[in-house]
Every structure is written in C-alpha cells, then in structure tokens.
A = this chain, B = another copy of it.
Amino acid sequence: MDIEALKAKNPEHWNKAAAIRALTLDAVAAANSGHSGMPIGMADVATVLYEKHLKFDAARPDWHDRDRFILSAGHGSMLIYSLLYLTGDPEITLDQVKNFRQLGAKTAGHPENFLAKGIETTTGPLGQGIAMSVGFAMAEEALRARFTKKLVDHYTYVIAGDGCLMEGVSQEAIALAGRQQLSKLIVFWDNNNITIDGTVDISDRTDQVARFKASGWHVQEIDGHDPEAIDAAIKAAKAAGKPSMIACKTHIALGHAAQDTSKGHGALTDADQMAAAKEAYGWTTGPFEVPADIKSQWEAIGSRGAADREEWETRLEAMSASRQAEFARTMAGDAPKKLAGTIRALKKQLVETQPKVASRKSSEMVLEVVNPIMPETIGGSADLTGSNNTKTADLGIFDIENRKGRYVYYGIREHGMAAAMNGMALHGGIRPYGGTFFCFTDYARPAMRLAALQKVPSVFVMTHDSIGLGEDGPTHQPVEHLAICRATPNTLTFRPADTVETAEAWELALTQKSTPSVLVLSRQNLPAVRKENKAKNLVEQGAYVLADAEGKRQAIIIATGSEVSLALEAREKLQAEGIGTRVVSMPCMELFEQQDEAYRKRVLPAGPVRVAVEAGAQMGWDKWLCGERGKYQKAGFVGMKGFGASAPAEELYEHFGITADAIVEQVKALL
C-alpha cells in the first residue's frame, strides 16, 4: 500500500483518519493489550462515515433519531473510543482513552453499552453485532411506521469482520435482513483477509459477495482506503432500497510493520515499530496528543448534527402533549400505567374460570390482553408460532409492506431471533418477545447471555419445557436448561404453575428495564393452582406458600411449573395420613433470592423435611434444600438424573419417577 500516495491525494482526510490510528496505537501500548490492526485498517471507512453520513450529535448521544453505529468486530473497540473522544462525546474523555482496558474505565476491552451512552451495543462475541443490527433496523422501521418519519428516520451502520461473517449467526441475520428488505441497514465488511490463525483462506473461501446477493442484499466492492469510493458507496447503499453490504478491501494494521499479517490483529506495542508507523502516517505529536486543528475538525464533525437534532426536537415539541408523552414513554421502556390493572382484571377472571390449559396457552391468554395495550411489543417465533402460542389476533405481520405489523416470522433461526430481539430492545421503543422450544435455549445462548450482560429486557418465551413434551424425545426435552438460565447473572427465569402465575410472570417481565426474562412454559395442560384472587403479584417474591400444612408442619414440598400440581396432589395424600405438609410454589428462584431473610425464612422455615420437585436437573436446588436452614439429611429431590426419552408424556413422568406418589415416598423416607 502506497501510504504517501494516499496522504497526498486526500491530506485532510488522511490526518483525521491518522488520529484514529495514532490513538489506537497509543491506547493499546498503554494497556499492553488490545487489538490495534482493525481500527487502523478501518479508520478511513469510519472517518468518511462520521464526516459525511452518520447522523449524530456528539454532545447528545442519547438523541433518539441518531443513526446507529454498531461495531460487530468488537475487539476493535479503540475505533469506537477514538471516534467518541475525537468528536467530543461527553463521557469518553481523553482520560478514559488513556485508561483503555483498566478497571473502572468506560473504555473496556470490548465495547459495553452500559458504560457510556455513545456505545450502542456490547460486542466482542463475533457475529452478535451484525445479528443485533437486524433488530435495530427492524425497530427503526416499526417505530417510523408508528411515529412517522418526522420522529424516526435513521440508518443502522455496521462494521463486521471476517470472523463475524464466518459465525453461523451471521447467516441467520443476513437472510432475515434480506427477507425483510431492511433498506436502512448498511454493513461494511472489513475485508482484510486476516484472521488469528492466518489468512482467511486457510479456513474459508466463501465468495461473500455472492453469498450476500443470494439473500437479497445490494452489494458493492470498494477500496476501503479510498475516501471518495467509500463516500460514493455509502450514497449508493442508501439509495439501494434493500440492505446493503459494502465489501471494503483493507489492509489490517495499515502502515505498521505487522500490516497484512495475523500479528497485526493483536496488540502492536513494539516502541520502534510504533514510531515507524506514526512516521509513515506523518504523525509527529506525542502519545495521546491530537493536533488542535485535527481535533477541531473532528469536533466540527461531532457537532454537525446539532442543528438536525434541534429541528427534530422542534418537530417533537410541535406534537400534541399526549403524543409526546407516548413517544417518551415508549422510548424510555416504561410499561403503560394500564398494565397493572389489566393483569389484575385477568387474574380475577382466571380465578373464577380456573382454566386447565398448558402454560404456553396461558401465556397466549396473557398476551391477548397485553398486546392491545402495549403497542411497543413485537412478538415472534422461530417457526413454532402455533406451538409457542406467541401470536395474538391483533398484531398483524411485520413485513415489507406492513411495518406496522408486530409479529415476526423469524424462520428457523433461534439465535438470529434472540440477537435481533436484543437489537430492538437496545434501539429503544420496542419491547421484544420471541419464542422457541426451551431446549433450543442452546441455540440462542450466546444472544441470551448478551441480553443479560447488556442489561436489556428481552423476553424469551420458551415452551415445551420438560419431558412433558413427550414423544419428540430427548433431543427436544430440556433437562439442564433451567440450571443454565438460573446460573446466568442478571436473568429472571420464570416457570409458572398455572395461568395466574403466568400472568404475574409476564407482568414482571414486561416491567423490567435492565434484565431479560425467560418464561419457561409447558406443552401439556396444567390444572389451575391459584384458587383465591389476590391483587398482589405473588410471583414477585419468587416463591410463596401456596398451600400450608394442616396440623403440625412436618414437610415442605417446593415445586415449579408443571410439578406444582403434583406437589399439591402429594400434599393431599400426606395430609390424609396426618403428615402436615406445606407446598411452596417457586416460580422464580432469582427473585426469591432477592427477598430479605425474614421472608425467605417464613416461606422455608427450619425444621420440616424439604423435598423439591422439578422435571429438570437438580443443580441449583441444593441451596434451597440444604442451604439456608435446610438439612441434607432431611432433603430430597424428585426430578431428572439424565436425559429424557421418547414416549407419551404421562408415561415418561411415570418412567422417570416424577409423580405424586414418588414425592410422598420421598417425604416419608425422610421423616
């Protein structure tokens, strides 16, 4: 690459881009870790994007109608931090850049959305950024349809690397975006032909241009160091009428001794090589020093959008007060005031009718009353709509011709769905929920973890939650998945026992602002267990006494979901034998853990035998069985010890010994 020619041809551009390159080298060297090559390689693309296209106001990174910039290749985090610092973001100061990757800094190793407003998403696990960007673009379409382009009209830009495109989730994202013709989604592929193990072709020879075209994308190929070509390509992409991929041929670690090598991917900290690279860039100031003229050019870019933002605010203020309030509520992710009353009314009715339905059906019954009063919900399923019961009559289908539709046919793409949901939630203004079988939590895992880490309230509707799904067999029968969800930080795992508990769980899920929820629902019908109407949301405390012991309290049976009715049945039998038995329903362990000790102690007092019943693995239960005033010698578990099998559900419950009689036996053996 002839750097002198690049400099000579576009000197102003070159210097702005060189600022990114120099800051990256300095920050990585100071941290003695990080990834230098990618920000250096993509500095030209980023500079043109920020200078000529990205709609933003650096002083107000929370402006709702800004364009979104997503760094799917999250290891190149210094690209974002450089851009934010240079353009004048209030949070990413020079001190933050100097503290790159240090404890407490906002400039974490990989970008973390919750550390600074200017960072849209948490990326790093490859492919997640491009997959979330589909959700961002869908959210923009849906909100534009709802609030008009006076308020919502922006692009989603993504930088993705070879790693992002090799991850399978990228295919799900590309195909979904192509199907939905998301014309305001523009992806730059950092086509540098380098991965950690060597050149890309040692593991991949996919024709990415042909691949994107096969899914209905507009594709261009350009020199990623030519500012005019970059500008022209972005213009063409905006006009394309479909999602657009710009393949940017770049040199990783441009101008450094490690250029075009795997070494260039990582931390370039050799002092002599750094000096040589800076000399090549024509960069003569000291570490972290950006010449004033270059910094002010960048700051001008940062304030370029201020007028746009002010006009937007004027348009917003011209709207009716109620419209403004609704827009504010929606973007803030606040549930409507009506929600609590709606849930209470539903519960009252349910206690009267005592429906015996599968909890996936219960979930649908809740959605039927919730969706009409929460226009911000967007539901969907990974091709199991009828089984997940996620679609309600009022939603309409989100599609090219109907952006007001609120139901998404995600296709057989659990991972892409979960990531898109996260993207919608991060965009703001949308409360996404999506369904699949609980066992396929496995497919969605990387995105479900990222929901928790990113603090977004996505709702995962996971049905067919145990051997209760029956004949489809062990490939489809979750065993360890409750433990997986419960072990994940900042995740609420709800396994409701009947329709009332399902309504309460949904109410909690829909009012979360920084925690995702997993609703774990049965395939099979469950009897109603809540016989009395309570205005209070009992699931909120995680566990509660559903039926107390009559006479001396000798045993406590703790159960969740489909096993609560077995616990009640066992209690009947034990009481008949004079054994006082309490049944505790524990729909959400995480919330129970958050209660104060006094409450936990009231629900699970010391003394009685404790038996837990759940058609899943024991892991996670020992805490409630023998921890916190429980005793190992007086504790038992009725559940799964290995994988399930293929047979009708009732036979499986019998076969694996998850029955009222087995609970009774267990209790009696411990007494």
Contact = CB atoms under 8 A, between A and B. Distances in A.
Interface of A: 31, 33-34, 74-75, 101-105, 108-110, 112, 122-127, 162-163, 166-172, 175-176, 178-179, 195-198, 201-208, 210-211, 213-216, 381, 383-387, 397, 409-413, 415-416, 439-440, 442-443, 445-446, 449-450, 452-453, 470-476, 479-480, 483-484, 486-490, 617-620, 622-623, 625-630, 632, 635, 641-643, 645-648, 651-652, 655
Contact of A385 (B196, B412, B453, B643): B196
Contacts of A179: 201, 203-206
B203 A214 contact: no
A295 B259 CA distance: 66
A471 B109 contact: yes
A169 to B, nearest CB: 5
Nearest to A216: B205
Contact of A33 (B176, B203, B471): B471
B110 A203 contact: no
A215 to B, nearest CB: 5
A646 B31 CA distance: 11
Contact of A125 (B124, B475, B651): B475
Nearest 7 CB-CB pairs, A to B? A168-B168, A203-B411, A171-B171, A124-B475, A103-B647, A108-B646, A210-B214
A416 B205 CA distance: 16
Given A214-B206, A480-B489, A646 B167 contact: no
Q: So how many copies of this chain end up in the complex?
A: 2
B622 A167 contact: no
A588 to B, nearest CB: 15
Given A490-B643, A626-B627, A168 B124 contact: no
A104 B652 CA distance: 11
A489 B643 contact: yes
Contacts of A486: 619
Contacts of A619: 483, 486-487, 619-620
Given A471-B33, A484-B484, A489-B480, A410 B203 contact: yes
Nearest to A165: B412
A175 to B, nearest CB: 5
B211 A412 contact: no
Contacts of A208: 214
A381 B179 CA distance: 33
Given A178-B205, A214-B210, A489-B480, A196 B474 contact: no
A168 B210 contact: no
Given A211-B211, A489-B480, A172 B178 contact: no
A625 B476 CA distance: 33
A70 to B, nearest CB: 14
A250 B386 CA distance: 24
Contact of A473 (B112, B195, B655): B112
Given A124-B473, A163-B412, A172-B168, A449 B453 contact: no
Nearest to A619: B487
A103 B487 contact: no
A526 B240 CA distance: 55
Contact of A74 (B205, B475, B480): B475
Contact of A387 (B196, B202, B387, B487): B196
Contact of A211 (B102, B215, B446, B635): B215
Contacts of A168: 127, 167-172, 413, 415-416
B646 A110 contact: yes
B110 A473 contact: yes
Contact of A655 (B103, B474, B618): B103
Given A125-B440, A167-B443, A383-B195, A453 B471 contact: no
Contacts of A202: 397, 409
14 contacts: A108-B474, A171-B171, A175-B204, A196-B383, A197-B386, A205-B215, A442-B446, A442-B449, A449-B480, A480-B484, A484-B484, A489-B617, A627-B632, A629-B632
Contacts of A627: 622, 625-626, 632, 635
B196 A206 contact: no
Instruction: Identify the interface centre among A108, A442, A479, A643: most chain B CB within 10 Å of its CB.
Output: A442
Contacts of A385: 196-197
Contacts of A642: 489-490
Contacts of A33: 470-472
A99 to B, nearest CB: 10
Given A102-B646, A207-B214, A630-B632, 8 more contacts: A127-B168, A166-B175, A168-B413, A179-B206, A197-B383, A197-B409, A203-B412, A622-B626
Interface core residue of A168, A415, A618 (most chain B CB under 10 Å): A168
A452 B442 CA distance: 14
A416 B629 CA distance: 46
A475 B617 contact: no
Contacts of A479: 488-489
Nearest to A469: B109
A101 B647 contact: yes
Given A214-B210, A442-B446, A166 B412 contact: yes
B439 A125 contact: yes
Contacts of A480: 449, 484, 487-489
Contacts of A452: 643
A426 B486 CA distance: 32
A646 B105 CA distance: 8
B215 A206 contact: yes
A210 B219 CA distance: 15
Nearest to A449: B442
